[in-house]
Amino acid sequence: MNKTAKTKFLNQTRTEKISRIGTYILLTALCIMWLYPIIWIVLNAFRTEFNADGTMVGTVVSHYWPKQFGLDNFRELFTNTYFPKWFMNTLFVAVFSCILSTILTLSVAYVMSKMKFKLRKPFMNIAIIMGLFPGFMSMIAIYYILKALGLTQTLAALILCYSAGAGLGFYVGKGFFDTVPNALVEAARIDGADEARIFVSVILPISKPTIVYTALMSFMAPWMDFIFARVILGEQNTELHTVAVGLYYMMYGQIVDTSRFTVFTAGCVCVAIPIVALFMWLQKYYIEGTTAGSVKG
Amino acid sequence: MEKLIKPFVRFYRRFIDGSIGTKMSHFIMGAGNIYHGQIIKGIIYFLIQAAYALFMITCPEVNSTPLGYKAFINIITLGTKEGDIFTAAENSMLMLLFGVVTIGITLMYLFVYNSGIKSSYKADKDIKEHSRVTTFRQDLKELSGSRFYITMLTPATLGVVMFTLLPTIFMILIAFTNYDKEHQAGLKLFDWVGFDNFIAIFTNPGGEISARFLPVLGWTLIWAFFATFLNYFGGVLLALLINKKGLKGKKIFRAIFVLTIAIPQFISLLAMRNLIGEYGPMQNFMLKIGLLSEPMSFLANASNVWIARITIILINLWVGIPYSMLLASGAIMNIPVSLYEAARIDGARNFTILRKITMPYIIFITTPYLISSFVGNITSFNIIYLLTAGQPKVTGGYIAGGTDLLVTWLYKLTIDEQQYNLGAVIGILTFLITSTVTLVTYRRSKSYKEEDAFQ
């Protein structure tokens, strides 16, 4: 009796051990698959290989590991392209659209969650329906409107495009405010605080998770977005481009120039490092926000 | 129906029951407020009415196209003067736009007009009940008090109206015109054509656009289905692996996958495109181990459309699995431990627990995500545009390539080909698909029905 129980125990640990090792191997293999393209980008950024005639090899080459490392791609990027300008443009757009979007989103989210008024439900239904139109259907219209009115394509127009409609994305924030106990608001009301005061000094101080989430999302959007910036800013205005559009046109402009691939990857590294660092730093809020948003719909 | 009539009944009652000031307010805004001594408020209302009247009568022009009452006429005719070599044609596109803008301004004016009457009516009541009216200062204070929602919603609403609603309505209207390459704004007038564009897409025999519509729609749905469900189950499996009991280094594994979420898509997708391209290291590797006999294209120049399509779906796994892994991880960690313990006491095996507890729980929590990601995939632009730009070409292409989705086709039709009306029709059809999917599923879901359960 005792003996059989013991062998069973041993067997179980052995199968468990095998399955654990299997899991490790599988996960490691998957991690390699996921990291393979990323590492390739980084390697290409530092790839310094030369042709027989002494010019640099900038194209995609078929060996993964560079034969020689160097900073020539970065030098090229910062001296012979508009990259520093693109970077500052994107930062400018990101900061302002982040501020605007966060204010708009949070105000709508709070009102929809904690205030009662006649048009609340219709407002929410309209917001859901509006959100279902393909985003760049309106973007294309905005582009032609700006063009027809002779308004030059500016970064300010881009900021408005990113943030003016932000109120529609109130759902995640509303999900958060729904979890704030009503008693808190009621207590403040009884103490005689008016609604504005309740929002500013009772609600905002405890809303860090949702504020950070909204701000993070809207700050990252301009770095990630490719299509809005491309349509609104146009191909010609190289000086006005954001990093995504600028780097894309560097390779796939009117003339496809594959010889700038390594310079392109150097640009990618310069963009990705700050964004990834920011994201990893604040990922707790991202995970909370995404999960909450999905649970609540 | 009753709901629709109610405001008009109320409007009528106010006119009948109101004081002489309120009656006057129906004609001159703010009259009632001034009658009751609310001078500043009355003047503000009056100025709004004056500004609106001035706007409608003087018809200010932008780019020699008038707003105001003339815009109402123009939105019906869409211009009458054709251009010749000396003068430009009237700009039908701006006429349409300004018509919509003027209608919007008029609706807003009517809203304010009604609120002016309401405010005067309220003053009547205040006199009757408290024998005094609210001061301007008190009214202002309300905006941070009981009517704080107005203060909070106004900026967001204005932004949405100007940058989402107005452009969307404008594009919807374009679908009913013949605004295309042959009718460029300012060169040639365009006109209303009713449902002709829709008919052309569905029935026009031999028309290229109708020949391509169903294939593109079909691929869009296939793509959305596989992209959603493969990513979802891939993510759930990965989450189960990572969250396995007793596994060390969970955080590191998770961080590696989260890392890929943070990398902008234009970087990762363009990297992928070159990595598996004819000159990339991936093909070199496949040649070496004998999987391929010669370099071939998997994307834009693929010999078979399905090679490109399957490649896109596979690459999308790389992009999408980390997202759903994060969500599923969140769900797994939220499963009450007591559930597991109870199951173990009942003698359940690991697999039974997975099948009876873990999976149902994950699916229950993440269903809303499935719906929104299906909709997101129907309108996903980046992945197609950056990987293949809709290529490879297919016979009878009409701009749409083999991997074009409805949205990338819409983009090409409007931006590259200036077929604005057809683009707009595609946009409307896309909306119909996404909204049907969403409304049917959301309305049934608990989170919609019990939206205010937590408040």
Report pLDDT digits (tens) over A184-220.
888 888 888 888 888 888 889 988 989 999 999 999 9
For residue B392, say if its preceding peptide bond is cis, omega within 30 degrees of 0.
yes
Q: How many CB atoms lie within 10 A of CB A208?
A: 10
Rounded to 5°, the CA angle A244-A245-A250 comes to 100
Q: Where are the alpha helices (DSSP H) in B26-66?
A: 31-35, 39-58
- Last residue of one domain, picked from the residues A48, A74, A100: A74
Predicted TM-score (pTM) of this structure: 0.86
In this structure, are residues B89 and B186 in contact, taking their beta carbons and an 8 Å threshold?
A: yes
**DSSP letter string over B158-202?**
HHHIIIIIHHHHHHHHHTTB--STTS-TTTS---B-TTHHHHHHH
Residues A274-285 have a mean pLDDT of 89
pLDDT for the residue A297: 37
Q: Are residues B113 and B143 part of one domain?
A: yes
CA–CA separation, A159 vs A155, rounded Å?
Answer: 6
Angle between the N-to-C axes of helices B305-334 and B208-242, in degrees from 0 to 180, rounded to the nearest 10: 40
Better-predicted residue by pLDDT, A238 or A268: A268
B123 token code pair: 């003053």
> What are all long-range contacts of A25-28, with beta carbons under 8 Å and residues at least 24 apart?
A26/B241, A27/B241, A27/B242, A27/B253
- Last residue of one domain, picked from the residues A53, A74, A95: A74
In a domain, B354, yes or no: yes
pLDDT for the residue A85: 92
Say yes or no: A29 contacts chain B, CB-CB below 8 A. Answer: no
- Last residue of one domain, picked from the residues A10, A39, A74: A74
In a domain, B199, yes or no: no
Say yes or no: A31 contacts chain B, CB-CB below 8 A. Answer: yes
Total domains in the fold of chain B = 2
Residues B36-51 have a mean pLDDT of 91
Which of A12, A49, A59, A62 would best serve as a mutation to test chain B binding (most B beta carbons within 10 A)? A62
Measure B136 CA to nearest chain A CA, in Å. 17
A-facing residues of B in 275-314 (CB < 8 A) are 275, 277, 279-281, 283-285
The pLDDT-based confidence of B445 (bands split at 50, 70, 90) is low
Which of B95, B149, B319 would best serve as a mutation to test chain A binding (most A beta carbons within 10 A)? B149
pLDDT for the residue A28: 92
Asked if the model's pLDDT at residue A265 lies above 80, the reply is yes
pLDDT for the residue B447: 52
Highest average pLDDT, of A268-272, B9-13, B361-365, comes from A268-272
B-facing residues of A in 228-287 (CB < 8 A) are 231, 244, 247-248, 251, 261, 264-265, 268, 271-272, 275-276, 278-280, 283, 287
Asked if the model's pLDDT at residue A96 lies above 90, the reply is yes
In this complex, the residue of B164, B272, B381 whose CB is nearest that of residue A227 is B381
Q: Are residues B150 and B262 part of one domain?
A: no
Q: Are residues A231 and A188 part of one domain?
A: yes
Asked if the model's pLDDT at residue B355 lies above 60, the reply is yes
Looking at B6-15, B203-212, B381-390, which range is the least confident one? B203-212
Q: Tell me which amino acid residue B130 is.
A: H
Kindly report the average pLDDT of chain B as a whole number.
Answer: 84
Q: Are residues A46 and A105 part of one domain?
A: no
Instruction: Say which CATH number the domain at B261 has.
Output: 1.10.3720.10
Q: Are residues B215 and B98 part of one domain?
A: no
Burial class (CB in 10 A: 0-12, 13-18, 19+), B228: buried
The pLDDT-based confidence of A98 (bands split at 50, 70, 90) is very high
Say yes or no: B374 contacts chain A, CB-CB below 8 A. Answer: no
Asked if the model's pLDDT at residue A238 lies above 90, the reply is no
pLDDT for the residue B206: 61
Q: Are residues B237 and B98 part of one domain?
A: no
Asked if the model's pLDDT at residue B449 lies above 70, the reply is no
Measure B160 CA to nearest chain A CA, in Å. 5
Residues A65-86 have a mean pLDDT of 86
Q: Are residues A88 and A55 part of one domain?
A: no
Interface touch A128/B442, C-beta < 8 Å: yes
Residue in chain B closest to A141 (alpha carbons) equals B167
In a domain, B31, yes or no: yes
In this complex, the residue of B157, B262, B447 whose CB is nearest that of residue A296 is B447
The pLDDT-based confidence of B52 (bands split at 50, 70, 90) is very high
pLDDT for the residue B454: 41
Q: Which domain holds residue A290?
A: 79-296
Q: Tell me which amino acid residue B426 is.
A: I
Residues A49-70 have a mean pLDDT of 77
Say yes or no: A95 contacts chain B, CB-CB below 8 A. Answer: no
The 10s digit of each residue's pLDDT in B222-236 is 999 999 999 999 999
pLDDT for the residue B204: 67
Residues A259-275 have a mean pLDDT of 90
CA distances from A94 to A156, A173, A295, B192 (A): 11, 20, 28, 40
Burial class (CB in 10 A: 0-12, 13-18, 19+), A24: middle
Q: Are residues A258 and A182 part of one domain?
A: yes
Asked if the model's pLDDT at residue A30 lies above 90, the reply is yes
ipTM for the whole complex: 0.85
Q: Are residues B167 and B38 part of one domain?
A: yes
Residue in chain A closest to B165 (alpha carbons) equals A130
pLDDT for the residue B229: 92
Looking at A78-87, A119-128, B198-207, which range is the least confident one? B198-207
Residue in chain A closest to B96 (alpha carbons) equals A145
Residues A115-134 have a mean pLDDT of 81
Interface touch B163/A23, C-beta < 8 Å: no
Residue B113 φ/ψ, nearest 5 degrees: -55, -45
Q: Are residues B405 and B344 part of one domain?
A: yes
Q: Are residues A33 and A104 part of one domain?
A: no
In a domain, B454, yes or no: no
**DSSP letter string over B396-453?**
T-TT--TT--HHHHHHIIIIIT--HHHHHHHHHHHHHHHHHHHHHHHHHSHHHHTTTT
> What are all long-range contacts of A90-94, with beta carbons under 8 Å and residues at least 24 apart?
A90/A222, A90/A223, A90/A242, A90/A243, A90/A244, A92/A155, A93/A155, A93/A158, A93/A159, A93/A162, A93/A222, A93/A242, A94/A219, A94/A220, A94/A221, A94/A222, A94/A223
Measure A12 CA to nearest chain B CA, in Å. 12
Say yes or no: B60 contacts chain A, CB-CB below 8 A. Answer: no
Q: Are residues A85 and A66 part of one domain?
A: no
Q: Are residues A100 and A222 part of one domain?
A: yes
Chain A residues in contact with B168 (beta carbon < 8 A): 130, 133, 137-138, 141
Chain A residues in contact with B148 (beta carbon < 8 A): 111, 115, 194-196, 199
Interface touch A164/B327, C-beta < 8 Å: no
The 10s digit of each residue's pLDDT in B287-342 is 888 777 777 777 877 778 888 899 999 999 999 999 889 888 888 887 778 888 88
Say yes or no: B162 contacts chain A, CB-CB below 8 A. Answer: yes
Q: Which domain holds residue B126?
A: 2-194
The residues, ordered by sequence, that sit 6+ positions from B410 with a Cβ below 8 Å of its Cβ are A134, A136, A137, A140, B423, B426, B427, B430
Q: Are residues B250 and B129 part of one domain?
A: no
Residues A38-65 have a mean pLDDT of 81
CA–CA separation, B97 vs B195, rounded Å?
Answer: 20
Q: Are residues B329 and B216 part of one domain?
A: yes
CA–CA separation, B369 vs B381, rounded Å?
Answer: 19
Instruction: Report the Cα A225 to chain-centroid distance in Å.
Output: 8
Residues B370-392 have a mean pLDDT of 85
CA–CA separation, B220 vs A60, rounded Å?
Answer: 31
Asked if the model's pLDDT at residue B163 lies above 90, the reply is no
Q: Are residues A137 and A40 part of one domain?
A: no
CA–CA separation, B272 vs B180, rounded Å?
Answer: 36
Residues B127-139 have a mean pLDDT of 83
**DSSP letter string over A49-79?**
-B-TTS-B--S--S-SS-SSB-SHHHHHHHH
- Running DSSP on this structure, what letter comes out for residue B88? P
Total domains in the fold of chain A = 2
Residues B148-167 have a mean pLDDT of 88
Measure A282 CA to nearest chain B CA, in Å. 11
CA–CA separation, B99 vs B170, rounded Å?
Answer: 10
In this complex, the residue of B166, B256, B382 whose CB is nearest that of residue A35 is B256
Q: Are residues B157 and B110 part of one domain?
A: yes
Q: Are residues B49 and B147 part of one domain?
A: yes
Looking at A268-277, A283-292, B137-146, B248-257, which range is the least confident one? A283-292
CA–CA separation, A161 vs A156, rounded Å?
Answer: 9
Q: Are residues A188 and A94 part of one domain?
A: yes
B339 token code pair: 């559930």
The 10s digit of each residue's pLDDT in B388-436 is 887 787 776 567 778 888 888 888 888 888 888 888 898 899 888 888 8
The pLDDT-based confidence of A6 (bands split at 50, 70, 90) is low
Residues B210-216 have a mean pLDDT of 83
Q: Are residues A215 and A148 part of one domain?
A: yes
Q: Tell me which amino acid residue B284 is.
A: N
Asked if the model's pLDDT at residue B92 lies above 90, the reply is no
Q: Are residues A285 and A149 part of one domain?
A: yes
CA–CA separation, A217 vs B384, rounded Å?
Answer: 23
Q: Are residues B87 and B60 part of one domain?
A: yes
Instruction: Residue B71: name the closest of B87, B57, B89 by CA.
Output: B57
Q: Are residues A254 and A193 part of one domain?
A: yes
The residues, ordered by sequence, that sit 6+ positions from A84 with a Cβ below 8 Å of its Cβ are A78
In a domain, B61, yes or no: yes
Interface touch A134/B427, C-beta < 8 Å: yes
Which of B6, B10, B143, B153 would best serve as a mutation to test chain A binding (most A beta carbons within 10 A)? B153
Asked if the model's pLDDT at residue B100 lies above 50, the reply is yes
Q: Are residues B187 and B117 part of one domain?
A: yes
